Structure formats: structure tokens, C-alpha cells
Amino acid sequence: MPQDLLPRIFQADLHRFYTRVVLPALDNLPLHTGVKISGPAASTAEFLDHAQMHTSNMLAFEARRSFALTLDGLFERQLRIWARIHVPENRRAGIATVEINKLVRGTGLRHGLDLETGQVRATIEELHLLGNAVRHGDGGSLTKLRDRAPHLWRYADNTVAAKSEEHAILSEGIQLSDRDFARYVRAVTRFWGLADGEPGAVVDVPY
């Protein structure tokens, strides 16, 4: 049987993207806790300090959302490339239009991948909903994401939460933690580790 090195290459690419690009960027964008953005301030200095921290947090969360969108797109592109080489030639063109979650499940079944242990499938589906919500803003994917992962919304206070609801900007309120991002990375790298049938395969890349 011919070698199939694509899963190992894809896993390595995802790992390098995370360790060489994402982690250094996030280290430069720390999240500040205890930021007060409404109500009276004890002094002008306190007001300015909290305003600065709030602005920094907005940038940090935007970066994390953007990286999640990139991770989702990178994995989807990899999956479609790999799926095409494992179907008959007359079905290859159709891979481009298969819904991504259906493709994940179908590919897993075709290759006998255990996508339930470690919640690989469910986490990849969550990542794709997040990617769509970041790309398109409020809509169907965001509604599903909020039902599935309500912890991604952590408002500073009730005033901010009410405004987000009122102005339908829930997508701007997504606060992706570094732990959640690592969970997404582990899911997509584990997918390719499970798909790697060559000697020396690593299912779970250490982080």
C-alpha cells in the first residue's frame, strides 16, 4: 500500500502554526482581569488605567478570534485535500461542496478514526461554528455556538451584556480563552494523528 504522508505533514503544519505564530502573538497580548468599564471611577487615573486595559483586552480577544478563524480554515483546506485522494476520480470534484461537518464524520468513518474519544469531532464542529461566527457575525452559526459553548461569553458586567443583546453584536462578545484555543488545536492535531497510518505516528502532540 503506498505511503500516505499527508496526515503527518498536516499535523506538523498545524503544530508549527500554533507554536511559532499563535503562542508568541498571544504572549504579547495578555488578558487583563478585573477591568471596570462602567460605573464611577475613584479617580481620573483609575478611569484611564481601566480604559487602557479594556482597549488592550479588545485587541487580545480580536486576535484570538482571528486565529481561531485561521485555524478553522487551515484544517478545512487540509481535510478537503486529503479527502480527494481517497475517493474515486469521478467524485473528487464534489468534495469541494460537501458540508465540512459531514466531511469530518464521513472521513472518520471511511478510515476508521475514533473521533469520539477526546471529543475530537464535537470540538472540531465547535471550532467551525466559531470560525463562521467570526467570519459572518451574528447569524445561525453564532446561535448554535452560543447554545453549545456559552462559556465563550464572559461579560464584564450586566450593562455590557444588555447592550450586546440590544444591538445584536453577540459576535463581538466572544471571549476566547487560551485554554479553549489549545483545546481546538489538540482536536485538529489529534484528528491527523489518528489518520496517520505510517510508522512512528504521534496521535496527541505534546504542548
Amino acid at 117: T
Burial (CB count <10 Å: 0-12, 13-18, 19+), residue 62: middle
pLDDT at 156: 47
**Residue 166 DSSP SS3:** helix
pLDDT at 62: 94
- Write out residues in the chain with pLDDT < 70, as ranges: 1-2, 34-42, 44-51, 155-168
Scan for cell 485587541, then name that residue.
Answer: 59
Q: Which residues are within 8 A (CB) of 179 and not within 5 positions of it... i.e. 6 or more apart?
A: none
User: Directed axis angle between helix 178-195 and helix 6-16, to 10°?
Assistant: 160
pTM of the model: 0.87
Within 13 Å and on the Cβ side, how many CA atoms surround 72?
22
pLDDT at 162: 56
